[in-house]
Amino acid sequence: MEISGSSAIVFGGASGLGEATARRLAADGAQVTVADLNAERAEFVAAEIGGVAQPTDVTDPEAVQRAVDLAVAGSGAGGLRISVCCAGIGVPAKLIGRDGPTPLEHFAKVININLLGTINALRLAAAAMIANEPNAGGERGVCVNTASVAAYDGQIGQVAYSASKGGIVGLTLPVARELAGMGVRVMTIAPGIFETPMLAELSEPVRQSLAASIPFPSRLGRPDEYADLACHIVTNEMLNGEVIRLDGAIRMPPR
């Protein structure tokens, strides 16, 4: 799929991995819709990259549909071709806390945003894509989801986060198989420890310790490295139905 001239939407595109991807797609010639819960920040990023912003809660079907419709409307006759979902939260909690079992609502919130939010964005973006005319290679669109290495080696306290990201890993192949006959590819990136607003809340000694735990390169990942991979996935039509770990060979310890 050619990036230049295509309409793209990035869910969670106002910060972190999503912002870097929105900026890279725009730099490569895409018309980008920045869909994010933080409306003010989304407007700022969109203005800088020549895109459009849409306040979006990925758990809200109507909000996601409005964002998809905006991306389609801005595409001319080409339709929405690229969707990247980076929206998510990571709120740690053990299964059993000091006061007993952690309230179910905590787990439900994380899974609702991370997993069901991804499914919501995926289903509505893909529905728009299958209405497109195929390109010369038969493609109508590409969807890139975001999991985490926590899907494979989650740490103590990552019950809901690991479960939600494991769900994204698990849906990648069946959805790719379902959409293959319609010319829509589906891929997932599982990042390791990256420089994101979520990680910025940690102290510098903790950040340095995390960086040292990565075999090579022994540093935190940069959001632009995620964006590089996302854009390569878009342009490499043989990539489909797979999860790629982007992690410097890290395997997370229990805690």
Sequence-distant (6+) residues with CB within 8 A of 51 are 22, 26, 31, 32, 33, 34, 45
Q: Profile the chain (255 residues) by mean pLDDT over runs of 10 residues.
A: 96 97 98 98 98 98 98 87 96 93 96 98 98 95 97 94 98 98 98 86 80 92 97 98 97 88
Residue-range domains of the chain with CATH:
7-192+223-246 (3.40.50.720)
Q: Any idea what DSSP says for residue 220? A: P
Kindly report the pTM of this predicted structure.
0.95
Please indicate whether residue 226 is annotated as part of the active site.
Answer: no
In the set 161, 167, 189, 193, the catalytic residue is 161
Strand-by-strand arrangement of the 141-146 sheet: 52-55, 31-36, 7-11, 80-85, 141-146, 184-191, 243-246
